[in-house]
Amino acid sequence: MNKIFSFKKNQNTTEIFENLSISHALATMAVPTIMSQLIVLIYNLSDTFFIGRTNNPYMVAGVSLILPIFNITISLAGLAGMGGGALISRLLGKGNNSEAKKVSAFCIYIAIIVSAFFAAFVLIFMESLLTLLGAGPETYTFARQYVTCVIVLGGIPTVLANTMATLLRSAGYSREAGFGISMGGLINIALDPLFMFVLLPSGMEIIGAGTATMLSNILSCLYFFFIIYKTRKTTVIKFVLKGGLPKASSILSVFGVGLPSAIATLLFDIDYIVIDKLMVGYGDIPLAAIGIVLKAERLPLNIGIGLCQGMMPLVAYNYAAENFKRMKSFIRTSRLTGLTIALCSVLMYEICAGGIMHIFIPDPSTVAYGTDFLRIRCLATPLMFLSFHMVYLFQAFGKGQVSLFLGVSRWVVFNIPMLFILNYIIGMYGIVWSQFTADILTVSLSFFVYFLFERRSAWYRAN
């Protein structure tokens, strides 16, 4: 624990960016992020797991309907965190620490403002939103209870905690960022059964789960405030805008990368909304099954995202410092590592799909549907990692327009239309096969765009 609160600084983070071996530096940045992503996954799954212990598929379905809104909340953290984090790493690579300090404070204020507006929006339009997501008579009350706790009351600390974690990671504090996110997840896991089955009466399990999530994010947010205050003399991550706002070019860069990141996440959520809306037509049991699958399949995806988040500051720093050989080594190593993990995960899901579903809910019909769904959906895992990896690369380069193009193409051109097309042709299982089919096209386009970008760049011939 003492290591988490020891901050002998700048030479350590500079060493990570510039001198450590490729594998050591990538592990130093990525392992804490991967661990925090796994904890986040576990605490997201813990709500579904404990609610599944009620053996009430309507409760499970009600919580599953909220996943798109929760993911939008996370995308708001990406608006300030991803855009600001990528820029801070590039500024550090250029030695412009004073501008990096202004950017970090600006991003924290943006995170507070946008999350407050979103929480108010959800509160005002809650009934319409839940109806749009497919909440019916059996699921509406449960969905409303959960969204009130997690989004309306807990939205600001959720966005702020994730934003501060990303900013700290961009400055080389991956361990502290990973610990804070992991801590919040572990607290949530501990509080779930306490609130659901001990403190609150039967029938209020959803309120218990939502309260546990809200409190865990508040505590995680407070931890990051403490870390930034503790490191105020040695890091560029600041609360106060000393010397005024960042340069106009810096603000444009934050939104130029952050906005495409948020839009891509929003489109990802729309994809989930479409899946829910189409699956509702086949009944609440398939809806509950796909809701569990969409969470259970995220194990390799969260590992891949953690790997990409650890890679991005390393690539951004060396891109700005024009150390192109080291930059390309980080790209190759992270890509190979992520693909290996994804392929191993496909094998695991194919073998263990039935057992995984039974962990979350013992209802035989839900397990039967979910087993088939998971075995099909997992086939897209390597393709999804490659898509994420490419988007994070362009964010590291500061090429927000390219990442926006790839994100919009993935969801608007390929994934969402494929849902409707395959649902019309095949039916319910067409919804499940759409991810694999669409991502073949997405990855092909991504590599073609990267091929063009690489050959137009100054670092193409760098050794």
Please tell me what DSSP assigns to residue 2: G
Mean pLDDT per 10-residue section of the chain, whose length is 463 residues: 44 72 88 79 71 75 76 79 84 86 90 92 88 77 87 90 88 84 86 86 83 90 91 81 82 83 76 82 84 83 87 88 88 94 93 86 84 92 92 86 85 91 92 92 93 76 52
Angle at Cα 221 formed by Cα 84 and Cα 2, nearest 5°?
A: 100
Q: Which pLDDT belongs to residue 133? A: 76
Output the pTM of the full model. 0.76
Q: Which pLDDT belongs to residue 150? A: 86
Q: CA–CA separation, 225 vs 457, rounded Å?
A: 39
Residue partners of 224: CB distance under 8 A and separation at least 6: 160, 161, 164, 165, 168, 180
Coil, helix or strand for 270?
helix
Q: Within 194-323, where are the H helices?
A: 205-230, 248-280, 284-296, 298-320
Q: CA–CA separation, 5 vs 224, rounded Å?
A: 11
Q: Which pLDDT belongs to residue 9? A: 44
